Structure 1
Amino acid sequence: MITVKMLRPYYLKVDKKMVHVVLAYQYFSLLIDNQVYQFVPLEANEILVNRHTKAIENIRAKFAFQNGEDVIYKTMYELITYPDFIFHLHLIVKPYFNLSKVGLEQNDEIDQMIYELERMNLKRRIDQALDERDKALFLELVKHL
């Protein structure tokens, strides 16, 4: 049985697209068969989370965990199968997701504008079909109103 004992970032680096969760020794540990394995930065040392899609981008990254002389490697793909890992990671990156209410309202306004422009274009094409006396095109376009 594998569970996340602790997951805290050493520091976070945030840019427009990504949240970089940088890890360090003693900030990330797993409980594997009742043994505590501490993260050691032998391979990957950060988790990349896309701010727009909420997806983990470095899915192939390999993380090392050590207990005494024993070192175990886990890929990000394996780690995301543990619900408590996702829970801890979500708590860390949630404040940095680009899903503010202002952004959602702006998206709704943009969607409405696009809808109106498409509707106006459809009406112009219907007028053009009438001017050209193209009955088939007229009937096809009217279906979309």
Structure 2
Amino acid sequence: MLSVQMLKPFYVKQEVDRIRIMLAYQYFSIHIDDKLYHFVPVEGREISINRDTKQIENTKDVLVFQNGKHMIQISILELMDLPDFLTHVNSIAHRYLKKKKPVNLTKVDRVIHELEMQNAKRLIDEALDKRETKKFHDLVWYIKDNF
């Protein structure tokens, strides 16, 4: 019997066309026949999800799991047969799929974008200093929606 014990991303990398869930030791473990196996970054190291189709792209990649000296190789396609694996992946990816796609910006656009974000953060600090809760909440939502 195969089941997912834990799946947490080491970090999530957002790209224009995909989201990459980067895996690391101690962040991903599975149970196989009542034995706990931990992910080892030997071969595959990520789960890549297409932003448009919301499907896992690298299904042929092989992930390696270790229990003591015993190692097992499992493809992402095999893991996709497990409902709890898909539940974990969807809960991680959902946060990033809701956000707007990052756009390939020119240098000038990137500078303007960065200045707008810095200004919004400065205004949040100002609202906190003046204890203006409505303004604070409005600005937090503005940053969440636009950056």
Q: How big is the shift at 1:6?
A: 0.2
Residue 28, structure 1, aligned to residue 36, structure 2: no
Q: Secondary structure of the equivalent of 2:43?
A: coil
Q: Structure 1 length as normaliser, TM-score?
A: 0.67
**Where in structure 2 are the equivalents of 1:66-145 lying within 5 Å?**
66-97=66-97
Q: How big is the shift at 1:98?
A: 5.2
Instruction: Tell me how far apart the structure 2 counterparts of residues 67 and 98 of structure 1 sit (CA, whole Å).
Output: 36
Aligned length: 100
Q: How big is the shift at 1:94?
A: 0.5
What corresponds to 1:58 in structure 2? Answer: 58
Q: How big is the shift at 1:52?
A: 1.2
| Structure 2 portions without partners, runs of 5+ | 101-147
Larger Rg: 1
Contact 1:60-1:76 within 8 A present in 2 as well: yes
Q: Percent identity among equivalent residues?
A: 43
Aligned AA (1:97):
L
Q: Structure 2 length as normaliser, TM-score?
A: 0.66
Instruction: Tell me how far apart the structure 2 counterparts of residues 7 and 29 of structure 1 sit (CA, whole Å).
Output: 7
Q: How big is the shift at 1:96?
A: 1.6
Q: How big is the shift at 1:47?
A: 0.4
Instruction: Tell me how far apart the structure 2 counterparts of residues 60 and 9 of structure 1 sit (CA, whole Å).
Output: 19
Aligned AA (2:43):
E
Deviation above 2 Å: which 4+ runs of structure 1? none
Q: How big is the shift at 1:74?
A: 0.2
Instruction: Tell me how far apart the structure 2 counterparts of residues 13 and 52 of structure 1 sit (CA, whole Å).
Output: 16
The 1:51–1:14 alpha-carbon spacing in structure 2 relative to 1, beyond 3 Å, is same
| RMSD after superposition | 1.3
Q: Secondary structure of the equivalent of 1:85?
A: helix
| Structure 1 portions without partners, runs of 5+ | 101-145
Task: Please list the CA deviations of residues 6-39 of structure 1 after superposition, one character each: whole Å capped at 9, or x if unmatched.
Answer: 0000001001111100000000000111100000
Task: Please list the CA deviations of residues 71-97 of structure 1 after superposition, one character each: whole Å capped at 9, or x if unmatched.
Answer: 000001101000000000000000122
Task: Please list the CA deviations of residues 33-74 of structure 1 after superposition, one character each: whole Å capped at 9, or x if unmatched.
Answer: 110000000100000001111110001000000000100000
